[in-house]
Structure 1
């Protein structure tokens, strides 16, 4: 059983898919983790704290949704590349290419490949002969060379409703903590293990994912949806699935005068993000005036050979970027992404050991080949037999109601602000009073009324994993409150609730309170952040969100 990890213990999709009979509460393995998978999905905050995703969802993106891509190139993209949901995310990489990444010596045999040689995935062509990509509507790309001293922000729109495979957690983070397990260990069956730095093999991941989509999944998936410092899509066919809207030149950053940097994330798949294990290295990994001329090593800040601090620095790019992505802490917004919460795949539902050696982080690399193959086969069945837009209960909205009702109450009960058992019993009764029939007290009935408060009356007929997990968690909350209310000493009663809080492990308990208008709540988002940022997120000046004090949360990324 996983021990508490996140919590300082003191301190959509439509209508019904079909409670005639509540499921057996005890039969739901890892119900708390499955609840959090549902609660955190497509949310930057919860996915940053529960960053090791082990679940797979079908995701839909409606036609017309705008995406962004930053690069050194002024011509539209063909083939396989990445897209950001927020323009500020893409703008970080709208910069010129200048030589090999800083972590590679000039005589490195892989320099040509890293610098955008034959390993580049982007199939750039002369679009003058291509009517579909003759240029963005309403204007042409800037005249002259395809590259200049600044970079370009590309804006595209989805040409159709996109079908994507969403990998939960921070699955685009190139770390050694397990963020890549769902891809490398499960989907790709350890095919990247022979590379000296498998964490940096983003081009290979894109190629393998798109080969699976086309061959094994018969073209039913258009790309992969992941999260790091912002949500992004690895889209397999730009020309087929996107409409170019505009290509604009961004303002040249003064940082560009500080010396050569590596390739940008968007310009090349084989730039620093891929082979160096840190796609942000190019934007922030160059030497600074006050760092003694030291370069960050592979893996970016906090990686091997790099200073052990919590981020790649500050400045206008970091501030703009972080303001944008932290605005998505509680969701991507605008119905830009819909998830099928009724039918999804999670390793938490399998009879496997995900928390070896008392770990607080689930890992998939420790599973046997047969166990991984079973999960992979379930993913294939999901893709081949279900659809992102299937009507079902909005289980995330239901988890929201449960968290909203109980999060503050449970925090209060373990805060130390209640000084007597009589006071605690009174507060617990206040919370449970809507479910009590004072003419005939019945613990079992009261717990059941409490546990099913937010559950649709016909939601359990299919026996889906979401319904069973959400009910199980709600039942645990209500039964623990009833139990705590029966103790006659304060310490024992609080211990029951504290155990409940540790079991629930809700990300809401780490949210900052009362940030000023010029501040953001800082949590580690790869490759930025410190251990302190994870243990106790704080409000920090948005202009300098990562002050680099403290040990990097991500540590040396020895992949």
Structure 2
């Protein structure tokens, strides 16, 4: 039967078995891989990009920093999940419309009146997820390229503003796979639903207090306060809010509403991200696949934020659509391995430690002398390599010529622990791609740490000139490694924001009119902005019919 079976997680102990089985695994891991090779030296290497994409799925922060998506994956929403739809009339949506995962996101679409519809899923909803800021309407940077490839087989910049045609065409395409809808992200996550009566039940229809549109004053106030300038000019001619008889005081301001939808999106900034949507990691299509030769050429010399799909060839477009057909019709469940968890374990293990090591090596505003600096760096490398530091991995002769092969078993063990045990025969083609990406990332990390350890092993007996040479080399190695990995865990406000601030990256549609740098690009550097709306902005530009 055509369709897909939902993921089952296979515990690692089931693969590794008993203690004797684990010992056999360790012996294999220490001897089964070639010495780590610099991933950055490999032609068309994309392991770091695929790893980054997999580890960032359904997280708001990294997909706001890099708005152009490059991944399509099968996803589900479990039964019992609450979803929301907001509008200014009581004409209940029936087909081809949008749902939000948080009510704050739905509330922003109410003007004058606010009808909030609340739904619960009655079975798993079958979805396709487009990563990046894929609901950032009207942007021409490439945020909707993956959707265009699915619908038309090529990028259609002329269709960027036509959301009604887009949802019609996506749902028409999804019919053959019995898809219920599509997951995208803007200020928060949304679901484009093809049929509101399929797999969902309406549990409430509530007329709630609307927010107040402040129009011209709202815009001019923010122009005058440029450090708070996050919001574009509201469209004109919005209806005045209908406040009920007996209402006293101010209602929610448009500014407050905007900030709270941003806050709701930021709940999903970091792992585990948006937990109400479940990714099937055995059914992931990556446009970073090096088999897409036209995109390899298009990517040359471009940063991750600049790379888009408008140069994809007809052959590569057909290849991706064929892969999608396989993804959404294939029987079986793949290996059941939670690849998102595996990538997160790698980020958790090395993210903050590499950042600390870089800080020590750069020695900013520190009183450490060179000897102390090297000693502390050596200690951090030893911490990261401790689980893989085999007693047999000792240089045979410290007085002879430098022989670095003694570190190879440590590097192999470090690089293979998380992936050497994976059962190849159970992996889907997409899982094999993820496995290769994890292997490439770990080989790079462990290779750099291993190289540093060779220098640092006997550094306590080195002279100052040698120590200075080590520091210069290690600084370059760690900086290049972290630039190559480009993990979002390192993307933060420095210094950290205060209790009444939020760390913010320009998010569509708020922020793209401001903060452009000297070359005209939006400055995506995280910055602290006020999270508490100043009281003066809570006052409407004109009173509502029943406000006082």
In structure 2, the partner of 1:427 is: 380
Matched, 1:338 2:319: no
**Cα separation, partners in 2 of 1:289 and 1:443, compared to 1, 3 Å:** closer
**Kept in 2: contact 1:60–1:339 (CA 8 A):** yes
In 1: Cα distance, 2:177 partner to 2:106 partner: 27
Give the TM-score taking structure 1 as reference length.
Answer: 0.70
How do 1:5-404 residues align onto structure 2 when only pairs under 5 Å count? 14-15=9-10, 29-95=45-111, 149-174=112-137, 175-190=139-154, 192-193=156-157, 195=158, 198-214=159-175, 218-255=176-213, 258=215, 288=219, 290=221, 301=232, 315-331=255-271, 335-349=275-289, 350-352=291-293, 353=296, 354-361=298-305, 362-385=307-330, 392-404=336-348
Structure 1 residue 453 displacement after superposition: 3.4
Q: Tell me which residue corresponds to 1:450.
A: 414
Q: Contact (CA 8 Å) 2:393, 2:410: kept in 1 or not?
A: no
Quote how far apart the aligned CAs of 1:399 are. Answer: 1.3
Aligned CA distance change for structure 1 residues 496 and 290 (closer, same or farther; 3 Å): closer
Structure 1 residues 90 and 184, CA gap change in structure 2 (3 angstroms): same
1:507 corresponds in structure 2 to 488
Aligned equivalents of 1:251 and 1:429: distance in 2? 59
TM-score, reference length from structure 2: 0.71
Q: Which has the larger radius of gyration?
A: 2
Determine helix, strand or coil for the equivalent of 1:254. Answer: coil
- What number of residue pairs does the alignment pair up? 432
Residue aligning to 1:527: 509
Note the C-alpha offset of 1:357. Answer: 4.5
Structure number with the bigger relative contact order (C-alpha 8 A, sep ≥ 6) is 1
Provide the secondary structure at the position in 1 that maps to 2:68: coil
Shift of 1:37: 0.9
Q: Is the 8 A contact 2:180 2:198 kept in 1?
A: no
- Judged with a 3 Å threshold, the aligned counterparts in structure 2 of structure 1 residues 477 and 314 are, in CA distance, closer, same or farther, namely farther
Q: CA deviation at 1:333?
A: 5.9
Residues 13 and 188 of structure 1, relative CA distance in 2, 3 Å threshold: farther
Query: Larger % of helix: which?
Result: 2
For 2:524 and 2:423, locate their aligned partners in 1 and report how far apart those are by CA, in whole Å.
37
Kept in 1: contact 2:219–2:232 (CA 8 A): no
- Partners of 2:516 and 2:485 lie apart in 1 by 22
Distance apart, 1:528 and its partner CA: 2.1
1:543 alignment partner, one of 522, 532, 536: 532
User: Cα RMSD between the aligned structures?
Assistant: 3.2
The secondary structure found in structure 2 opposite 1:154 is strand
- Following superposition, the deviation at residue 433 of structure 1 comes to 2.7
